[in-house]
Structure 1
Amino acid sequence: MKPAPVTPVVATDTIPHMPVWVTSVRGQTPEDVAFLSGAALAHLHLVVHADAVPQPLFRDRLALGAAEACVVFTGRPERAAALRDAVHLMRPGDLPGPAGETLVSWQRAVARPVSVGMLARALPGMDATQIAGWLDAQEGGPVTRAAMVLQAVLADAPRAETAALILADAALARALGWTHMVPLLAAGLKRADLGKGDADLEMACHRAVTASVSHAARIAGDLARRAAHLQAVAPKLRAKAAGAAVQMFLTRDAVAPAGLPLPDRAARRLCDRLVSLGAVRELTGRDTFRLYGV
């Protein structure tokens, strides 16, 4: 007997919508700019605590955007697709290359709760004591602390843009009481902003937060709908370890069939089945060396 059709669960109504005035109004005074970023962060606070949002996947997807921005800051040509390839198509013993290492750092930074030890593992070139010093020395509101950390790290290590932005986002998360960091600043800042200091840098960070939260909220809503659909069609899957595979898709931006807990042919069949069900997408557009994601 054929299984009964499963109606995808749409979680749109469980995700709060960003108030239009937060992004439609451009603050001119420092007070207005700070107020808008605060309103944006208050909205994101609801999003990062929404059960309907697959939070690990949400953070991993934002990590890709942050890594791409950092690669642009360094003048390298790689973009999101190349970063995915560099990390997800590695074979045992391979190295991801400089651009791929940027993505790996962001992925490690968002995967576990914020702590000095976690940040030291994500940034192997940074000393844990130095990281603690940067994070603990700052005062003020969340965005102010993030801007101060960004400025302090770049003052000590001018070419460490990735580390500075990761630590700034970590400071922001800690100030907001979030367990995990959410990449925001890298995608919202411009290269020229990194050369600013004090009040100018703080204003740039406020504006970056407002813009990035708007983008992040849209991603969260899209992922909530897609994750609900994936979970709804999961009972249709017959492959062994399909449940474990589904969980991988719910936590990772991209998955290669070879990385699934299935034999190679079974993994490729499962991916094709999920694509046919509209539960995941093929991300590369290639016939070989494919990657899949929610």
Structure 2
Amino acid sequence: MVLPDLPSDLLLPPLPPIADPHLARLAVTHSSAHQLPRRPTSLEFEADEKVEDYEKLEHVGDSMLGSVVTGLLHDLFPLLRPGPATMLKSHLVSNNTLRQLCVRYRITDHIIAAPVQLLTIKSQEKPVASIFEAYIAAVFYDFLTSDVPGAYTVDNMEAPPILHPLRPLQLRTRGHAFDYIDAWLRPLFTPIARWALDQMTADAKVVVQAGEPSSDHSVVGALSLVNSWALKETGKLPEYPTLSATGPPWAVECVVVDKNGVHVRADAIRETKGAAKNVAAWKVARQLGLEVQA
């Protein structure tokens, strides 16, 4: 499923400022700003080569956000099974969600890029989401490099709700820095997590009423079951034509012709062709009276 846009009345905790001007600039600088040759897969680097865009920070921020959200979901929903929890996490850290947060925090107002590309970059989901991840990492490193990190420089009413007493710079650890970003990200993602889970629950009820499986996990084995049945009963495999010209999402049909020439068919729409194929086979299995052992 694809979540709708975040609720318009979602209250965001204040965005922690970044006191280090270099980090603040780096977090919002697109590679086009410097027009440097790109070598994204190269293992070579020059000793004096400087990273002048957000991509390294994005790489770090992505992992940090994933850790915060995973822990948050475990605390909020201790009875939620790993499969649904993973799906919920994927919604929270998706490019779509992060893009919306970046825009609502107006971080996009500060993006630095080549003038001719700036408007295009601001309108694209992936770079805007990446900048939000880079900002998370910049907040983390700001705690470790600035005498007074950004959130401690503003009025307490505007700061994240839980801030530990500030230790001297030389006594701060990465664990302290993680607590620092956690104090911002947990209040931010808690209402989003509850809203997203409500959306997932409502969607699950709809798909069950529409003859869809309760979860894609429940269709595991359907494809093999239907293929085996078709080979045994008709001597040939089912057909799985793709109904959509482009994707994702992809629409795939499963078609089985029995001994009497009767066509048994069903289609499904999923984010990948493989997943759509599995669900379509599950629907055909139900029509044929075959029981899928999940």
Give the TM-score range, shorter chain.
under 0.3
Q: Between the two structures, name the one with larger relative contact order (CA 8 Å, sep ≥ 6).
A: 1
TM-score of the superposed pair, with normalisation by structure 2: 0.27
Q: Which structure dedicates a bigger proportion of its chain to strand? A: 2
Q: Which structure dedicates a bigger proportion of its chain to helix? A: 1
